[in-house]
Structure 1
Amino acid sequence: MTALDAFWHLANFLAPAWVVSALLALLHKLIWRRELKAMAWRRLALWGGLGGTLALVLALLLLGHDGKMAGYALLLLGVVLPQWALTLKR
């Protein structure tokens, strides 16, 4: 495996966490526009992406390989919980 192959392998592993996090942060800002006016969507996306990345790594360690439905369920929890906690603290 070349360095470029390793980069794309890692990028494709982490892409679901960061894309779901960014889309969910934008959806938060769209639906709760007035309530979340002071909070930047990048902050929501960053914490959700970090939580999703941790969830993917945990799912990989627990389940043995990527791509299982339980891993994606854990990914959703990893993205949603930090964003939910941030919206509670506002």
Structure 2
Amino acid sequence: MDFIVFFWHLLNFFAPAAFLALALGLGAWLLRIPRRLPWWTGVGLNFVLGCSVLGAGLVLTGSDGKLVTYVALVLAMGSGQWLLTPGGEPTIEK
């Protein structure tokens, strides 16, 4: 496998974590949900968490793209976003 093919495989492996982190961060910003950190910091933290979950899923299942890994990804990143809200409770400002 040459470098270009490896690069695209790596990019596609981390794409679900990047998309979900960006969707969670921008969604919280658009809905004006109070947060402890700026939205871009939340995106970065969620991306690192998502990459860790995807890596653990690859090691534990022996293959990437398993449904159980994506379920764990959504649960972990949703919980991470919830922990970034003050008091751990997502509330919408009025």
TM-score exceeds 0.5: yes
Aligned residues: 88
Counterpart of 1:11 in structure 2 is 11
What TM-score does the superposition give when structure 1 sets the normalisation length?
Answer: 0.85
What TM-score does the superposition give when structure 2 sets the normalisation length?
Answer: 0.82
Quick one: which amino acid aligns to residue 11 of structure 1?
L
Counterpart of 2:45 in structure 1 is 47
- RCO greater where, 1 or 2, for CA within 8 Å and sep 6 or more? 2
Runs of 5+ consecutive residues of structure 1 not aligned to the other structure: none
Identity %: 34
SS in 1 for 2:85: helix
Give the whole-Å Cα distance in 2 for the aligned partners of 1:35 and 1:62. 35
CA RMSD of aligned residues (A): 1.9
Give the whole-Å Cα distance in 2 for the aligned partners of 1:78 and 1:34. 19
Counterpart of 1:35 in structure 2 is 34
